[in-house]
Amino acid sequence: MSGEHSLYVGLMSGTSVDAIDSALVRCRHNTVDIVATHQHTIPPEIKQQVAAISHSGGDEIERMGVLDRALGLLFAEATISLLESAAVQPGQVKAIGSHGQTIRHRPPSAARDNAASFTLQIGDPNTIAEVTGITTVADFRRRDMAAGGEGAPLAPAFHAAVLSAPGVNRAVVNIGGIANATILDGNSLLMGFDSGPGNTLLDHWVLRHRAEPFDRDGAWSARGQVHPALLQRLLEHPYFRQTGPRSTGKEIFNLAWLDNVLGGFTDIAARDVQRTLAELTVTSIANAINACPITVSEVYICGGGSHNKHLMERLSVLLAPATVASTAQLGMDPDWVEAATFAWLASRTLDGLAGNAQVVTGAAGARVLGGIYRGA
């Protein structure tokens, strides 16, 4: 593999729909270096369309088709902006790994009454390949699900490859809209799962009550009080009792669910609800890590939640004596771990290597993930 051909672009837009994270990454064996990054704005009307298509409604095929193309174009533009800022020509990039925008996620662990499991990420990769001229790998989750897996989380294999160390029991936790945790026994991947909500409930609650997209640094929640009975009721959700391969989404953890639980209480101040939601996030993460069969001594956080000082402080308390730090401590900027994951997954696919981890997703076996859309 020549030096110039080890460059990949990773594109990620998570459940938060806050922005398209694009990272230019150099992949060499199991070393992954982030060379340049660009956060691409998602226009409000596209955000609105994503929110609307994320649950059932009329004229879905039409709306999904239009949005699929629009997002594909936006992902292509994110790539072009990234490469311009880095002064890199498209021809120097071996491939783009595009996660796409999840609009439905119903994994086997959540499919009820024999309903088929499926997961759907949109953002047309044909359009990305056509507009950028760069080979694009996309649709990473559905092969794993076809093999009986959850299709998620996919990050643990990447965490094991690049953030593990021999002889150290580590956890890596990505706090995006949903939070996922990876448990590493030295270099070996022991477990990986979605622990439950990350920022999604916090974001939606602060938007409703303060018309802000998120609670900066967790300042508002830090001023509230945990409502123990509400926290207990929220933790009674059956998801938190699941073990083994599991993944979740906004289909389960959303304001409709919260409103339903809140219906059983009277007069909890909005700020105290926010505080309790923060406690739900950190308690579900800490409980899952503390329940795993090895004693974790180091916990590294990535994703937007790593900027929430209040969440980080509470995690330090709940996970002690394990140390809690950002993945920056390991040399990887927490804001770009997920985008780098999809660049790395694209490299795995082009090299004919599996991208899923059977122990995490529960798939029948290791699979080469995604479809390849050839560039110019």
Ligand X SMILES: Nc1ncnc2c1ncn2[C@@H]1O[C@H](COP(=O)(O)OP(=O)(O)O)[C@@H](O)[C@H]1O
By CB under 5 A, name the binding residues for Mg ion.
14, 16, 18
Angstrom distance (rounded) from CA 285 to CA 22: 27
Which one of 303, 355, 362, 370 is in contact with ligand X (CB under 6 A)?
A: 303
Does 199 bind ligand X (CB under 6 A)? Our answer is: yes
List the x/- string, 62-101, binding to ligand X by CB under 6 A: ----------------------------------------
Residue where the block lists tokens 């596209």:
46
Piece of 15-23, 77-85, 259-267, 291-299 that binds ligand X (CB under 6 A): 15-23
User: In the complex with Mg ion, which residue's Cβ is closer, 13 or 349?
Assistant: 13
Shortest approach of ligand X to residue 280 CB, angstroms? Answer: 14
Task: Candidates 82-90, 254-262, 302-310, 339-347: pick the segment binding ligand X (CB under 6 A).
Answer: 302-310
How many residues sit close enough to ligand X to count as binding (CB under 6 A)? Answer: 19
Alpha-carbon span 360 to 66, nearest angstrom: 34
Q: What x/- string results for residues 158 through 197 when contact with ligand X is judged by CB under 6 A? A: ------------------xx--------------------
By the 8 A CB rule, do 345 and 97 touch? Answer: yes
The C-alpha atoms of residue 121 and residue 118 are separated, in whole angstroms, by 10
Q: What is the rounded distance in angstroms from the CA atom of residue 63 to the CA atom of residue 251?
A: 19
As measured in angstroms, the least distance from the Cβ of 174 to Mg ion is 11
Q: Is 15 in the site for ligand X (CB under 6 A)?
A: yes
| DSSP line for 242-292 | --SS----TTTSSHHHHHHHHTTS----HHHHHHHHHHHHHHHHHHHHHTS
Q: Which does 139 bind (CB under 5 to 8 A by kind): Mg ion, ligand X, none?
A: none
Considering the rule CB under 6 A, would residue 18 count as an interface residue with ligand X?
yes
How many Å separate Cα 359 from the centre of its chain? 18
Quick one: 164 or 199, whose CB is closer to Mg ion?
199
Residue 22 sits in the site that holds ligand X (CB under 6 A): no
Are residues 154 and 354 in contact, defined by beta-carbon separation less than 8 angstroms?
A: no
Kindly calculate the radius of gyration of the chain based on its CA atoms and give it in whole angstroms: 20
Question: Which position among 304, 355, 370, 375 is part of the footprint of ligand X (CB under 6 A)?
Answer: 304
Gap between the Cα atoms of 219 and 309, Å rounded: 8
Tokens of 8: 């990949």
Binding stretches for ligand X (CB under 6 A)? 14-16, 18, 176-177, 199, 203, 214-218, 303-305, 307-308, 338
